[in-house]
Amino acid sequence: MTETGAPMAGLSSSGVAMPAAGTEQRVAVRLAAVTKRFSTQIALHPLDLTVSEGEFVTLLGPSGCGKTTLLRIIAGLEWPDDGTVSIFGTDVTDRPANKRPVNLVFQRVTLFPHLTVAENIAFGPSLRRMKKRQVSEKVLAALELVRMPGFGDRRVTELSGGQAQRVALARAIANDPKVLLLDEPLSALDLEIRRQLQAELKDIHRRLGLTFVYVTHDQEEAMSMSDRVVVMSDGRIEQAGSPVEIYRHPRSPFVARFLGMSNVFEATVVAVADGWLELDGGSLALRAPAPAPLPAAGGRVTVVIRPDSFDVAPLKAGENAAGDVVGEVSDVRFIGSLVHYLVTVPGRKWQVSTRAGSADVLAEGTRVSLSWRDEEVIVMKPG
Amino acid sequence: MRTVLRRLRRRLRRRGIGLLHVYVGLLLLFLFLPLAVLVLFSFSASGQLRFPITGLALRWYQEVFSSSAVIDGILASLGVAAVTGAVVATVGTLAAVAVNRYRFRGSAVVAGMILAPAALPGLVIGIALLNFFGDIHLTLSLLTVMIGHVIYTLPYFYLVLSARLRRFDPMLEEVATDMGAGPLQRFRRVTAPLIAPAIVASAFVVLALSWDEFQITFFTIGDQSTLPLVIWSRARLSIDPSVNAIGTLMVAGSLLVVIFTRRFIAESYS
C-alpha cells in the first residue's frame, strides 16, 4: 500500500492551513505540457496549468473543449499521452487513480445503490485501515458539512437529485482528498437547488480551505464561485484569470463571446495617442483605451463592447441625436433586474443590457439613441 | 354471427371484461389444464387414468417414496443440478464480466461459442458428447451428465447476467477507484454485490433447466439415473399413475424455485 495522503485528523481541522502572509503559496496541482488524443482527435494540446493550495479554480468552456478530460487526467481516470501531472510536488503521472490524493465528484449521480448514505460516505475511509469509530465520526462530520445530518440510514434510492449530489460531495470530502475535483456536479439540478448548492459549495470551500478544481460550461456559475477562471476552447486554454479580470479584459473574441458579450466586430486602427486608440469600424468611428501591446496604426483589431457598457434613450418622432448611433429596438427581454434589448441599426445589431430600475421598459419598434462609455470599449488582437 | 359476437362483447364489457381477457384466459387454460389433470390424477385412488375420479388417496405418493429407484433419481438430479449450478455460476460470471466489461481480441468469438449450444438441438449435443466421451475414454457417469448440463445451461446463465451487466453503470467502478479501491477491492465491494442478485437468479434458472433435462442426459448417462430418466423408463413400460405423482413433485419443485427467484429479485435492488 502506498500512502495516498495521510488521513487528516478530522474535517474541521482539515490540516490544509492557509499559508501565512508573506510566505509563498504552495502549488497543489501542476500540469506540464499535458497532451491527450482520442484516436485521431486531439482532446488537449500541450497544456500547462498551476493551481495553488486553497484556490478555487474553474475550468470553463463549451462541451468538447477538453475541460472534463483535463479533470479526469488530474484524477487519474484518464492517461495523458504526454506531459506530467504533479500534486503537491509529487509526480503522479504514472499513478493510477486509486493511488492519488484527489477525489472527483461526478456530473451524474454515482452513489453506490447497494449501500446506505452512511455506507457510501464511509466507502473511502473504510478501505484504509481505520478504526470503526473513527470512520463513523468522519461520516457524521461529512453529513453535517453538507447539511444532511440524520440521513445516514437512508437508502440512496430515496434521495432527490440535490440530496444525492450532497451525499456524493460528502463521500468525496470524507476521503480526505488534498484536491477536490468537481465535474459539473450541479448541471443536472433545478435552477433553485443549483443556486443554493453553489452558495454552499463556496462556503464549504472557504471553511475547509481545500483546493477545488471545478468544471462547468455555465459562465455565471464559474464567475460567481471561483477565485480563478480558466476559459478553454478546442483543447487549449484561451485565458486564465480572476472573474473580474476575464470579464473586464477578455483577451480573445472567443472568451468575449463565451462570457455573453456578443457585440464583437473588427475595426482598423486610425491613430494612437495618449493611451487612446482612434478606430474605424466601417460605418462607425470610435475611441478605446489602448491595450498592451500597442497595435500599430493601420492594423486590424477586434473590438468588443459589453452589453452593459451602453446607455439607451428613446427618441421622439423626428428627433435626431447628433453624433450618437440611432437604431430601433427589435427585441426586448425583461428579466427583472435587467432588460436585454436588441437594437438594430442599418447593417448591425447591438446587444444592450440596461438596469431595469424604475424606468419604462421600451417597446419593440421604439427608435432609440445608443451611446457607450469609451473607456469600457475592449480592443484585442483579431481572432 | 356478427351480431351475436357483438352482443357477447357488449355483455362482457359491462362486467369490465374485454375479449383480450377471454383470449388470455383460454390461453392459460390450454397451458395449464394438462398440468391440472396430472396433479389431479396423482391423487386418484384408482389405477385408472380416466374420469370420473372415484376417490382421493396418497397411495401413488407412498409408492413413489418407497421406490428406491425414484429416491435415487431425485438425489442424482439434485446433485447434478447443484454441481451444474455452481460450475455455471462461476464460469458464466467470469465469462460475462470479461466479454461485457473488457475489450479484447476475439471477444465476439468467445461470446458466440458460449451461446452456440442454445441454438443446437439437445439431441445433437447429446450425440456429439457421447462420441466425444467415447473418443477420450471417459466412462459415462453422472460426471459426464454434469459436463453436458454445463454446456447446455451456460448460454442461459450468460444471457441473463449479460443483460444485467449492460445496465451496470461503469462509473460506479470509476468512483470506487477514485475513492482508493484497487481492482480486487473494487470487484469485491462494488461489482460483486451489485450483480449478485442477477447471479443467484440466473443460477436458479440453471437449476430448473438441469433438474428436468432429458435429451442430453439420455446420451451421457451411466449406471445411475436422474429423475427424468426414471420417469421415462417407468412410463415406457406401462402407464403407471405413480408417474403423475412424480410429475406433480417436479412441478412443485420448479414452482418453488420460480417463487424463490422472484422474491429474491423483488427484494433486491436492481
pLDDT score of A17: 44
Q: Is residue B53 part of a domain?
A: no
Query: DSSP for chain B?
Result: -HHHHHHHHHHHHHTT--HHHHHHHHHHHHHHHHHHHHHHHHTBSSS---SSP--B-SHHHHHHHH-HHHHHHHHHHHHHHHHHHHHHHHHHHHHHHHHHH---TTHHHHHHHHHHHHHS-HHHHHHHHHHHHHHTTPPPSHHHHHHHHHHHHHHHHHHHHHHHHHHS-HHHHHHHHHTT--HHHHIIIIIHHHHHHHHHHHHHHHHHHHHT--HHHHHH--SS--HHHHHHHHHHH---THHHHHHHHHHHHHHHHHHHHHHHHHHS--
Position B50 confidence tier, pLDDT thresholds 50, 70, 90: low
Burial A107-146 (b: 16+ CB within 10 A, else e): bebbbbbbbbbbbbbbbbbbbeeeeeeebbebbbbbbebb
Q: Are residues B84 and B33 in the same domain?
A: no
- Chain A environment of B182 (Cβ under 8 Å): 98
Rg from Cα positions in chain B: 24
Evaluate the CA torsion angle A121, A127, A128, A132 in order and state its sign. positive
DSSP code of residue A49? E
The pLDDT of A210-228, averaged and rounded, is 94
Contact B216, B126 (CB under 8 A): yes
pLDDT score of B156: 93
In terms of DSSP H, where are the helices of chain A? 67-75, 117-127, 132-145, 161-174, 191-208, 219-225, 243-248, 253-258
CB contact under 8 A, B185 and A127: yes
Of B169, B171, B177, the CB nearest to A98: B177
Q: Are residues B31 and B86 in the same domain?
A: no
**Residue A1 pLDDT > 70, yes or no?**
no
Q: Is residue B222 part of a domain?
A: yes
* DSSP count for chain A of H helices, then E strands: 8, 20
- Chain B environment of A106 (Cβ under 8 Å): 171, 174-175
Q: Are residues B231 and B102 in the same domain?
A: yes
DSSP code of residue A22? T
d(CA A51, CA A25): 10
Size of interface A-B (CB pairs under 8 A): 57
d(CA A212, CA A185): 12
State the pairing for strand pair A276-280/A285-289.
antiparallel
Q: Are residues B64 and B19 in the same domain?
A: no
- Which of the residues B167, B171, B174, B178 would you substitute to probe the A interface, choosing the one with the greatest number of A C-beta atoms within 10 Å? B178
Spatial neighbors of A336 by CB under 8 A, at least 6 apart, are: A356
CB contact under 8 A, A110 and B179: no
pLDDT digits (tens, 9 = 90+) for B201-224: 889 889 888 988 999 999 998 888
- Minimal C-alpha gap between A112 and chain B (Å): 7
CB contact under 8 A, B177 and A97: yes
Q: Is residue B103 part of a domain?
A: yes
d(CA A289, CA A305): 12
- Chain A environment of B180 (Cβ under 8 Å): 4, 98-99, 124, 127-128, 175
Q: Are residues B18 and B139 in the same domain?
A: no
Q: Is residue B178 part of a domain?
A: yes
Q: Is residue B216 part of a domain?
A: yes
Contact A337, A296 (CB under 8 A): no
pLDDT score of B48: 67
- State whether residue A248 sits within 8 Å of chain B by CB: no
Position A301 confidence tier, pLDDT thresholds 50, 70, 90: very high
**Residue B198 pLDDT > 90, yes or no?**
no
pLDDT digits (tens, 9 = 90+) for B78-116: 999 999 999 999 999 989 988 888 778 888 898 899 999
d(CA A371, CA A379): 18
- Chain B environment of A101 (Cβ under 8 Å): none
pLDDT digits (tens, 9 = 90+) for A242-290: 999 999 889 999 999 998 877 999 999 999 888 899 999 888 888 999 8
**Residue A92 pLDDT > 90, yes or no?**
yes
CB contact under 8 A, B194 and A98: no
- Which of the residues B179, B188, B191 would you substitute to probe the A interface, choosing the one with the greatest number of A C-beta atoms within 10 Å? B179
pLDDT score of A4: 43
Closest by alpha carbon to B64, among B254, B234, B238?
B234
Number of domains in chain B: 2
- Minimal C-alpha gap between A119 and chain B (Å): 11
Nearest CA in chain B to A110: B172
Closest by alpha carbon to B213, among B105, B129, B136, B138?
B129
Evaluate the CA torsion angle A100, A103, A107, A111 in order and state its sign. positive
Q: Please name the amino acid found at residue B216.
A: I
Helix B227-237 to helix B68-101 angle (10° resolution) is 130
Of A113, A157, A175, the CB nearest to B179: A175
Order of strands, sheet of A264-273, starting from the edge strand that comes earlier in the sequence:
A285-289, A276-280, A264-273, A300-304, A378-380
d(CA A64, CA A215): 12
CB contact under 8 A, B175 and A175: no
CB contact under 8 A, B182 and A98: yes
Indicate the pTM of the whole model: 0.77
Q: Are residues B13 and B122 in the same domain?
A: no
The pLDDT of B12-16, averaged and rounded, is 72
Q: Is residue B23 part of a domain?
A: yes
CB contact under 8 A, A175 and B180: yes
Quote the domain boundaries for residue B242.
Answer: 60-268
The set of cell numbers assigned to B27 is 390461453
Of A4, A106, A157, the CB nearest to B180: A4
d(CA B223, CA B206): 24
- Which of the residues A92, A112, A135, A175 would you substitute to probe the B interface, choosing the one with the greatest number of B C-beta atoms within 10 Å? A112
The CATH number of the domain where B135 resides is what? 1.10.3720.10
Closest by alpha carbon to A363, among A336, A333, A322?
A333
Contact A44, A206 (CB under 8 A): no
**Rounded to 5 degrees, what are φ and ψ at A12?**
-65, -45
- Chain B environment of A175 (Cβ under 8 Å): 179-180
Q: Is residue B198 part of a domain?
A: yes
Nearest CA in chain B to A97: B178
pLDDT score of A20: 47
d(CA A306, CA B117): 70
pLDDT score of B252: 85
- Chain A environment of B185 (Cβ under 8 Å): 127
Position A13 confidence tier, pLDDT thresholds 50, 70, 90: very low
- Minimal C-alpha gap between A18 and chain B (Å): 25
Contact B89, B202 (CB under 8 A): yes
Residue with cell 451428465: B145
Q: Are residues B37 and B72 in the same domain?
A: no
- Minimal C-alpha gap between B83 and chain A (Å): 29
- State whether residue A79 sits within 8 Å of chain B by CB: no
pLDDT score of A49: 95
CB contact under 8 A, B194 and A114: yes
d(CA A205, CA B263): 46
Q: Are residues B79 and B163 in the same domain?
A: yes
pLDDT score of A23: 53
- Which of the residues A73, A111, A126, A127 would you substitute to probe the B interface, choosing the one with the greatest number of B C-beta atoms within 10 Å? A127
pLDDT score of B265: 66
Q: Are residues B100 and B233 in the same domain?
A: yes
- Minimal C-alpha gap between A105 and chain B (Å): 8
The pLDDT of B233-237, averaged and rounded, is 79
pLDDT score of A14: 40
The set of cell numbers assigned to A65 is 473543449
Q: Are residues B24 and B79 in the same domain?
A: no
Q: Are residues B112 and B225 in the same domain?
A: yes
pLDDT digits (tens, 9 = 90+) for B125-160: 999 999 999 999 988 889 999 999 999 999 999 998
Q: Are residues B35 and B119 in the same domain?
A: no
- Chain B environment of A76 (Cβ under 8 Å): 178
Q: Is residue B49 part of a domain?
A: no
